Amino acid sequence: MQTTFRGLLKHLDDQRLLRHVSRPVDPTHQLVAVMRKVQKTTNEPLLFEHVTGSPAAVATNILCRRGILADALGLETRSLVPSLVAKEGQAMPYETVADAPVHEIVKTDGFDIARDIPQVVHCERDGGAYISAGVCIARHPDTGEYNASWNRVQLVGGDHTRIRMMPPQHLGQYQEAAERHSKALPVAIVIGAPPALMLSAASKIPIDADELQVASAWQGTPLRMVAAKTVPLLVPADAEFVIEGEVLPDLREVEGPFGEFTDAYAEAAPNHVMRVTAITRRKDAIYHVILAGGPEDSVLLGVPLQAEVYKRVAAFAPIRDVATPGHIFGCVVSIEKSNDDQARAVMLAAMAAHPWMKVVVVVDADVDPHDTNEVLWAIHTRNTPETGVYVIPRLGSFQRADVRAAHRGKVGIDATAPMAMRDVFKRRRFPGIDELNLDDFLDPLTGSAH
Ligand SMILES: Cc1cc2nc3c(=O)[nH]c(=O)nc-3n(C[C@H](O)[C@H](O)[C@H](O)COP(=O)(O)O)c2cc1C
């Protein structure tokens, strides 16, 4: 169980899973280019030790595999989703401490967001440097309930930033409530947050539940919180950076463009303005960067979606697992079916579980739903296109205004073998393969065969 971001980095390092980059890299494009190439090849967590002009080292691609998230939460990878569903609804009070590592350096004036925070520019057309891995903590102005959510922050300069938020996201609702009273909404952007908080910030937790208490329950021990310096909020004591500030009422500025999780750009559009009131950090703070749509983003957004689907489909068939390979606008559900109707029921329930579930594939329990090749194999060999593909019209999925029209309707693919042909579709087995060690058979590569 890892309760801090740096604890997780050390744990990965101890397991030889964290790749260090000691060569200096440029925060404008080069850092993300290296990250992207790693994501497309070996997909390893990375620590950039020297980022040119940067006040901190940069960690990225940390939760790049479900297994790393499961391990950080002290859970088994193969039962991650049911374990999280079982823990849902639990809440554990957090603890408030007086002294905090994140307050080793406190700047309440004389700071500059364009100097005191690493200026990482992600994609070619991005509107400048962004905080891409900030968990935003806020309290509902009327109820005082805590919310945590991920929000990108465009770094303008001085105390001036722009933050991407809107209803129905809970932070957007909080801001609307504050704006109704013409009040600013106090916020704290946490960088290098506890892993359980990173997950609860990405999860759709009911608006009246306290996400700090949910994160405490998920990590099995109270979050260590400390009073922020300039806003009436508690922030994680062991975080790497906290940027305190307020979202101003009745003010919008053009934010963006930004390379989004669809691998295309969200164009520049009016968004909220956040005035920074303090920057606090550890002395040797490590800055966290997440590429929207990269493996780490897909794990953080995918696992909560898988849990939403799991809850809806579990009534219809025994479930091996739910996966979101490729992109989170669809899912694959692996089921142990005992009649053919179950696959269709699961498909419809998965589509209804979340608007984003645009393409749903149902496979048998002998198919790993996380393995894209296996899923395509099941579609190619087991689906009957004439009867096993369902297009459900007049249902929306992704709602961003500029692309909404392209996300109309849903598709379901039943890639399970028909019950009547079970025996014909039974997969081959290769006796001895599981116990076999290839090094006992293959000669080492010497390049001296000729
Ligand atoms: C790395 C990352 C960045 C995200 N950036 C944004 C963002 O800029 N704006 C937004 O509305 N949602 C963003 N999200 C999605 C929200 O965090 C997610 O919808 C969350 O469930 C919102 O929680 P809440 O409505 O329960 O508070 C991001 C998610 C991740 C993992």
Q: HEC string of 281-335? A: ECCCCEEEECCCCCHHHHHHHHHHHHHHHHHHHCCCCCEEEEECCCCCCEEEEEE
- Cβ contacts of residue 390 below 8 Å, gap of 6+? 344, 347, 411, 412, 413, 414
CA angle 309, 313, 315 (to 5 degrees): 145
Please tell me the predicted confidence (pLDDT) of residue 450: 62
Q: In angstroms, how far is CA 220 from the centroid of its own chain?
A: 20
Distance 379 CA to ligand 1 centre (A): 32
99: exposed, middle or buried (C-beta count within 10 Å: 0-12, 13-18, 19+)?
exposed
Q: What are phi and psi of 154, to 5 degrees?
A: -85, 125
Residue 439 lies in a domain: no
Residue nearest to atom 22 of ligand 1 (CA): 149
Return the pLDDT at 446.
87
Number of domains in the chain: 2
| Coil vs helix vs strand at 124 | coil
pLDDT at 15: 97
Same domain, 36 and 145: yes
Q: Name the residue of 5, 151, 176, 305 whose CB sits within 8 Å of the most ligand 1 atoms, as the mutation to test its pocket.
A: 151
Distance 223 CA to ligand 1 centre (A): 21
329 shares a domain with 271 = no
Calculate the alpha carbon distances from 243 to 27, 100, 126, 290 in Å.
Answer: 20, 15, 22, 17
Residue 264 belongs to a domain with what CATH number?
2.30.110.10
The ligand 1 atom nearest the CA atom of 300: 31
pLDDT digits (tens, 9 = 90+) for 164-190: 999 999 999 999 999 999 999 999 999
Which residue has a Cα nearest atom 14 of ligand 1?
150
Q: Calculate mean pLDDT across residues 151-162.
A: 98
Q: What are 319-336's pLDDT values in tens digits? A: 999 999 999 999 999 999
Same-domain status, 162 and 257: yes
Q: Are residues 258 and 327 in the same domain?
A: no
- Spell out which residues line ligand 1, taking CB within 6 angstroms: 133, 147, 149-152, 164-165, 169-171, 201-205, 290, 297, 300-301
Q: Is the pLDDT of residue 317 over 70?
A: yes
Which residue range forms the structural domain that includes residue 181?
Answer: 5-289
**Residues 325 and 332: beta-carbon distance below 8 Å:** yes
The pLDDT, as a whole number, for residue 223 is 97
pLDDT tens for residues 100-125?
999 999 999 999 999 999 999 999 99
User: What are phi and psi for residue 280, nearest 5 degrees?
Assistant: -120, 155
Co-location of 281 and 353 in the same domain: no
Tokens of 230: 């300039």
Q: Where residue 403 sits, what CATH number does that domain have?
A: 3.40.1670.10
pLDDT in tens, 395-442: 999 999 899 999 999 999 999 999 999 999 999 999 999 999 999 999
| Domain assignment of residue 446, yes or no | no
321 and 280 part of one domain: no
Is residue 271 a part of any domain in this protein? yes
Are residue 10 and residue 136 in the same domain, yes or no? Answer: yes
Asked whether residue 85 carries a pLDDT value surpassing 80, the answer given is yes
Ligand 1 pocket test: pick from 150, 303, 398 the residue with the most ligand atoms within 8 Å of its Cβ.
Answer: 150
What amino acid occupies position 130? Y
Co-location of 284 and 397 in the same domain: no
Give the pLDDT of residue 449.
62
pLDDT > 70: what percent of the chain? 100
Domain end, chosen from 239, 256, 289, is at 289
State mean pLDDT over 247-273.
97
Give how far Cα 359 sits from Cα of 225, 319, 320, 328, 413, Å.
40, 18, 19, 10, 8
Do residues 254 and 394 share a domain? no
| 329 and 274 in a common domain | no
Q: Is residue 441 in some structural domain?
A: no
pLDDT at 24 over 70: yes
Region 287-315: mean pLDDT is 98
Residue 231 confidence (pLDDT) above 70: yes
Angle formed at CA 268 by CA 60 and CA 37, multiple of 5 degrees? 30
Residue 349 lies in a domain: yes
For ligand 1, atom 11, the nearest C-alpha belongs to: 165
For the chain, give the mean pLDDT: 96
As a whole number of angstroms, the distance between CA 304 and CA 82 comes to 11
pLDDT at 35 over 80: yes
Q: Counting every residue, how long is the chain?
A: 450
By most ligand atoms within 8 Å of CB, the mutation choice from 39, 88, 161, 169 for ligand 1 is 169
Q: Categorize the per-residue pLDDT at 302 as very low, low, confident or very high, splitting at 50, 70 and 90.
A: very high
Identify whether 432 is part of a domain: no
| β-bridge mates for residue 21, sequence order | 48
Residue 254 lies in a domain: yes
pLDDT score at 448: 73
| 89: confidence class by pLDDT, cuts 50, 70, 90 | confident
Does residue 191 surpass a pLDDT of 90?
Answer: yes
74 and 210 housed in the same domain: yes
* Confidence (pTM): 0.96
Which residue's CA is minimally distant from atom 29 of ligand 1?
A: 150
What's the chain's Rg over C-alpha atoms?
23
Let me know whether 272 and 335 are in one domain.
no
Q: Which atom of ligand 1 is nearest to the CA of 152?
A: 8
DSSP, collapsed to helix, strand or coil, labels residue 2 as coil
pLDDT band with cut points at 50, 70 and 90 for residue 96: very high
Backbone phi and psi for residue 236, each to the nearest 5 degrees, phi listed first: -65, 125
